[in-house]
Copies of this chain bind each other. A is one copy, B any other.
Amino acid sequence: MKIAKNSKVVFIGDSITDFERARPYGEGIGFCGDIGKSYVAIVDGLIKASYPDAHLRVINMGVSGNTTRDLKARWQTDVMDLKPDWLGILIGINDVWRHFDTPHITENQVGIEEYRQNLTELIEQALPILGGGLILITPYFMEQNKSDPMRQMMDAYGAVVKELAAKYGAVLVDLQAEFDRYFACNHPMSVNWDYIHPDLASHVLIARAILKQLDYAW
């Protein structure tokens, strides 16, 4: 597996990552569930099961509702100060969503240029301290109609993530592609009525998609 033993691994993002994690840090005694219930906990569990001697320190730093703008405001305390070896970022869904669920509240919408700029700044600030590596995960929308305006915008933001992954040599997880593969055989309504928030099964799907890119051995 690409992640070395005893590494510290931080995942940061929005509600997809957050999912009831503890504050201020999403880690703690196992049964307390402080790591939350998202893909972060599943990644942690799968690594523990396959590599019981890996002794990774996995920390969930997601915050529900966050956009790249919010990440910038807490990047120092929530990422830099933690000195992670590996950093996973899954952000952008709210940057897009606010254009559609509150189209008139324009001050809460993050346009694609600001998104690229914000994400670039976050990456450039973090890269120098990452002894391990960077994982970039594309935002997604479970809607399978690619001409839907929100899906179109989400795909455009996902393209920015791919572009930056290539530019900075990050591990790329094309999560939209993973979901599209799954929804080729299933209707998104079976996961969540809102086409955004994964159920526990879909969090497992996300975790698997990430680990596939990290040479994890089942």
A residues near B (Cβ < 8 Å) are: 27-31, 33, 35, 37, 41-42, 44-46, 48-50, 52-53, 55-57, 97, 100-105, 144-145, 147-150, 181-182, 184-187, 189-205, 208-209, 218
Whether B196 and A42, one on each chain, are in contact in the complex, defined by CB atoms closer than 8 angstroms, is no
Residues of B close to A199: CB separation below 8 A: 30-31, 33
Cα-based distance from A45 to B103 in the complex (angstroms): 16
Which chain B residue has the least Cβ–Cβ distance from A103? B190
Given A31-B199, A52-B181, verify A190-B45 contact (CB < 8 Å).
no
**Cβ of A101 and Cβ of B29 under 8 Å apart?**
yes
Query: Which 3 residue pairs of A and B lie closest in terms of their CB atoms, listed nearest first?
Result: A45-B204, A30-B199, A218-B218
Complex Cα spacing A204 to B48, Å? 9
Bound CA span A144–B149, Å: 11
Contacts of A190 in B (CB 8 A): 29-30, 100-103
Chain B residues within 8 Å of A28, by CB: 102, 105
Residues in B with CB closer than 8 Å to A42 are: 42, 45, 200, 204
* A194/B194 in contact, CB under 8 A: yes
A192-B31, A196-B193, A200-B37 known; A100-B187 Cβ under 8 A:
yes
A201→B41 contact, CB < 8 A: yes
A148 and B149 contact, Cβ closer than 8 Å, known pairs A41-B201, A199-B31: no
| CB of A85 to closest CB in B, whole Å | 12
Smallest Cβ distance from A93 to chain B, in angstroms?
12
16 contacts between A and B (CB under 8 A): A27-B102, A27-B105, A30-B200, A45-B204, A46-B208, A48-B201, A49-B201, A49-B208, A52-B185, A103-B187, A103-B190, A144-B148, A150-B187, A193-B193, A193-B196, A218-B218
> Shortest Cβ distance from A80 into chain B, in angstroms?
17
Measured CB to CB, the closest approach of chain B to A38, in angstroms, equals 10
